[in-house]
Chains A and B, each alone.
Chain A
């Protein structure tokens, strides 16, 4: 049974997701960050559809659970490709766009194959188990890729403040989700991990992106060496 906090978080998530696209339109950066905006608008549509399925079939219904996990897998793949476009931004001067796209597809296929290997022994609901496993693994792959991207930003001395903050907030999002999933596998009975925490983590990404697009001017510059814990 959902309480008022759950409804509030649900409403806030939808509001923040659409606000990323609105802020981008207002700041004329919609086309520049097209993949991020398409992902956020997709998330917004999924949030609305989830509510529709929930209100028709109930929170514990099979329809809601299936819809939740399948849409989550699709969104994770979408976010994965949004992350790849950030790679294209950072590596734009190296003319490596084609290789980045190829590597991204190979890595996605590899993650899907690994996920299939993990669930291969399951006799029932194989496809559902597969999408859940794929989602979890993609969060971790996303985290590793964001970490590598952050390394590339430092190495290439990328100074665009907006891009840096978008990458860092994505890193926070992926690492928080990956840690939550790992904790859930370690302690399946730990309810705090599956209470409001995932919803709050889900809120953090559109919140940070909307803030960055709205507050940080496109031409703002930062010295990334100042941001690392160990001075470079």
Chain B
């Protein structure tokens, strides 16, 4: 009985901490303005839509990985999957949840676009270093 209560409380806290942690990662990148080049490649102008996420992630996988952003990208990928799950289950019952999941999915896509921008600039730096050598 006690273990069950602890499990439910811990799982609820885990979910809440996970969502807040992912939102803190997203918030850190939301102020960054995308370059014209990344806007062209991703098709994202000022605001991103959740439907852009998959495409931007595919572009992201084409670029060499930056070790420092690998884990945050994975966390946001997991968060996006959680949002998709909520969208197809709970949001069907509570329509107000639908708008929230859509907005969050869009912010995940923007985060991925910012990560893409960083990876492109990282690749350019690597290439420049190789050319210099």
Contact = CB atoms under 8 A, between A and B. Distances in A.
B32 interface: no
A179 B17 contact: no
Given A185-B3, A186-B3, A179 B27 contact: no
A205 to B, nearest CB: 12
Contact of B27 (A172, A175, A186, A222): A222
B34 interface: no
Using C-beta atoms within 8 Å of the partner chain, give the interface range for chain B. Answer: 20 to 34
Interface stretch (B5-13, B43-51, B55-63, B123-131): B5-13
Given A161-B24, A175-B10, A211 B68 contact: yes
B6 A172 contact: no
Contact of B10 (A168, A179, A207): A179
Contacts of A214: 68
A207 B21 CA distance: 13
Interface in B17-71: 17-21, 23-25, 27-28, 68-69, 71
Given A150-B17, A175-B14, A214-B68, A165 B6 contact: no
A164 interface: yes
A168 B11 contact: no
Contacts of B18: 172
Contacts of A127: none
B89 interface: no
A227 B14 contact: no
B21 to A, nearest CB: 4
Given A172-B17, A226-B27, A143 B7 contact: no
Interface size of A as a range: 20 to 34
A186 B7 contact: yes
Interface string A204-232: 00011001001110001011001111000
B28 A168 contact: no
A140 B28 CA distance: 30
Given A175-B13, A179-B7, A179-B11, A229 B19 contact: yes
B16 interface: yes
Contacts of A182: 3-4, 6-7, 10
27 contacts: A143-B9, A143-B13, A146-B17, A161-B24, A165-B21, A165-B25, A168-B17, A168-B20, A168-B21, A168-B24, A169-B21, A171-B13, A175-B11, A175-B13, A178-B9, A178-B13, A182-B10, A186-B7, A211-B68, A211-B72, A215-B72, A220-B28, A222-B27, A222-B28, A226-B27, A227-B23, A229-B19
A-B pairs, 8 with minimum CB distance: A182-B7, A179-B10, A171-B17, A175-B14, A185-B3, A178-B10, A182-B6, A175-B13
